[in-house]
Amino acid sequence: MTTYILRRLLIALPTLIAISVVSFIIIQLPRGDYLDRRIQELEEQYGDSSSLEMAEELRQRYGLDKSMPERYISWIVNFVKGDFGQSFRYEVDVNELIWDRIGFTLLISVGSLLFTYIIAIPVGIYSATHQYKFSDHFLTLLSFVGMSIPAFLLALTLMVFTFELFGLPLFGLFSSYYEGAPWTMGKVGDLLQHLWIPIIVLGLNGTAGLMRIMRGNLLDVLGQPFIQTARAKGLKEWIVVVKHAVRLAINPLVSILGMSLPTILSGSAIVSVVLGLPTVGPLLLRSLLDEDIYLAGTLIMLLSILLVVGNLIADIALAWVDPRIRYE
């Protein structure tokens, strides 16, 4: 297993390098750069071009006067050292902008994953063991509805519903009283009060899809000969289902665990804008629009690292739940 993990990490290294190169190039494909738009804004504001000298000084300061390969090499070397550069728009180090947001992003994403799997697996099992009954048709209908409703629309609906019924304006992750306040038990409680909406919104769409996958896999396994043999031996039905059938049917859900995290992270961008969440989604969107190359490149790289780590964890978990898999 150790050899396999090391081999996967070595394979992931060129993958991350390729992602960094492609993303760095794509961010700068539009004509001009951040300072060009900044000059235009200043000219529209002041009616002259007195800011040209200052812009040229900033261009040299941020290294925008260098060629793209030189900028990339300088950025990636500093990235490995933990220096992510300086944001053009916010004029602060990228380190100061991202870590709190990444923490909240991971909290929401992991919470959504747990919500998805805790709900999807039992519901999928129930639907498969009650095939073609009313409950199965009803859950199938709910799953299709859950997959078809956009996450941002569900977020807006839950916000309105919660405010109308309970009078709770659940916008953001904290109430105005706790914004910028030091961490206390009251602030943690306020966070938990606001956290359930983004977790449910981001988790419901994935729950619907995983429920269908679990149902289909379990139905396939229940029709296999070894299940008929277990029933013929007189085993109780719940033992046949839980101990023998579910153990095989759950394997595909474990294997797609690594792909679920980046899906939730990408889907959370629009939801974060709608709900006003301090996550990396709105920050990444703003940095791409502004061509803030160091901020956008850092966020893309960190999300890519999460994808690689998520896939590695999924592979290890699959080997743990499925003894047939051997990594040489």
Q: Following DSSP, what letter does each residue of 210-240 receive, concatenated?
A: HHHHHHHHHHHHHTSHHHHHHHHTT--HHHI
**Nearby residues of 203 by Cβ (< 8 Å), 6 or more positions away:** 111, 112, 113, 115, 116, 119, 264
Angle at 253 between CA 256 and CA 11, to 5 degrees: 30
Residue % of the chain over a pLDDT of 70 = 84
Q: What is the pLDDT of residue 42?
A: 64
Q: Which residue has the higher pLDDT, 243 or 267?
A: 243
Q: Looking at the DSSP assignment, which residues form a beta bridge with residue 86?
A: 93
Q: Which two tokens stand for residue 111?
A: 């919470």
Higher pLDDT, 20 or 2: 20
How much of the chain exceeds pLDDT 90, in percent? Answer: 4
Which domains, and CATH codes, for the chain? 94-321 (1.10.3720.10)
- Specify the pLDDT at position 67: 78
Q: What is the pLDDT of residues 154-180, one digit of tens each?
A: 888 877 887 777 766 667 777 777 777
Per-residue pLDDT tens over the stretch 175-206: 777 777 778 888 888 888 788 888 888 888 77
Segment 59-85, tens digit of pLDDT = 676 666 777 788 888 888 888 888 887
For residues 306 and 265, is the Cβ–Cβ distance under 8 A? yes
Instruction: Give the confidence band of 126 by pLDDT, cuts at 50, 70, 90.
Output: very high
Q: What is the pTM of this model?
A: 0.78
CA 38, chain centre distance (Å): 31
